Structure 1
Amino acid sequence: MLLETLILWLHLIALGLGGAAVFGIPVVASAMDGASNDARAVLNGRVEALGKIGSAALGLIIVTGLGILGLRGGIGGDPVWFWIKMALVVAFVVTIALAKRTGAAAMTGDQAAAGRLKALSMLEFVLFALVILVALLTFG
């Protein structure tokens, strides 16, 4: 029971860190519009740092989620909502990968990529919120 509680605690900490990245990266990136080259370099460093935090959080969420499933001996909640949550998680991970690739293009000055990045960021917000909502519906 203590091990499961500690793994769940790590899972929730990772969700918080992931949320900080999901919400923080677009805020910092939006400050780049019209910024000087020196300021853009500093802001880009902040975006990269938040991206590393988000990547580490995502890895920890996956590992701890699998650990919780293993300790509980299965889903332990409503299976329909669980698989909806898993589909949302996959969509979220794909969106993150697309946003990373698009962000790299936007940093080179690609204005079309910058526009797509804003849409991807909004999609990340929505998917992040939906994953958490559906997790609550799954596990109560």
Structure 2
Amino acid sequence: MEFANILLWLHIVGFVAGGATAVTMPLLERQLAQAAVDRRGELFALGNKMIQLGKVAMGLLLISGPLMWWLKWGLVVPNHWFFAKMGLIVVMLVCIVMSGLAFKKMQAGDMSVAGRSAVLGLITLVAGAGVLLTAVLAFN
């Protein structure tokens, strides 16, 4: 098995783990906004674990992606879909950071940001689907 295939596998694992986080966090945050105070502790603990998973996933993606691009394509931009993919990745990163900040506010007791966080999660999810589509179009 060549190194590029291992990188692709790691990239897919990262995308799946990040996608799971992008799907579950908005659902969890909606639950938090409505949960009784005594239940919020376990939901915040679960959310913190999901955030850690998301960070590992994003790290895998940000390391394996450029390495694959370099090893398989020599850093050549294959077409315009590549730029669309990079733009969607930026959208995802901005939404993930903003959602993480909102989650911290929720942990500090400000539940008013729960709706904003859910919207950010939805944008992240749609952008992630777009990243997958544009990756297929760019590299296949």
Is this a same-fold pair by TM over 0.5? yes
Identity score, percent: 29
**5+ unaligned residues in a row in structure 2: which ranges?**
none
Q: Which residue of 2 aligns with 1:112?
A: 112
In structure 2, what is the Cα distance between the partners aligned to 1:43 and 1:93?
23
The 3-state SS of whatever aligns with 1:109 is coil
Which is worse superposed, 55-64 or 111-120? Answer: 111-120
* Deviation (angstroms), 1:102: 1.5
**1:56-101 alpha-carbon deviations (Å, 9 max, x no partner):** 1001101000110121212463x21101111111111011111111
TM-score scaled by structure 1? 0.90
Q: Aligned-pair RMSD on alpha carbons? A: 1.6
Cα drift, residue 126 of structure 1: 1.1
Which residue identity does 1:84 align to in structure 2?
A: A
Alignment of 1:27-66 (within 5 A): 27-66=27-66
Q: How does 1:21-32 map to 2 (within 5 A)?
A: 21-32=21-32
Q: State the AA in 2 paired with 1:69.
A: W
Partners of 1:135 and 1:85 in 2: how far apart?
A: 6
Q: Which runs of 5+ in 1 are unaligned?
A: none
CA distance in 1, matches of 2:111, 2:31: 15
Return the TM-score normalized by structure 2.
0.90
Which residue does 1:20 correspond to in 2? 20
- Report if the CA contact (8 A) 1:76-1:139 is conserved: no
**Count of equivalent residues:** 139
Q: Name the CA distance, whole Å, in 1 between partners of 2:125 and 2:115.
A: 16
Query: Is residue 30–residue 114 contact of structure 2 (8 Å, CA) maintained in 1?
Result: no
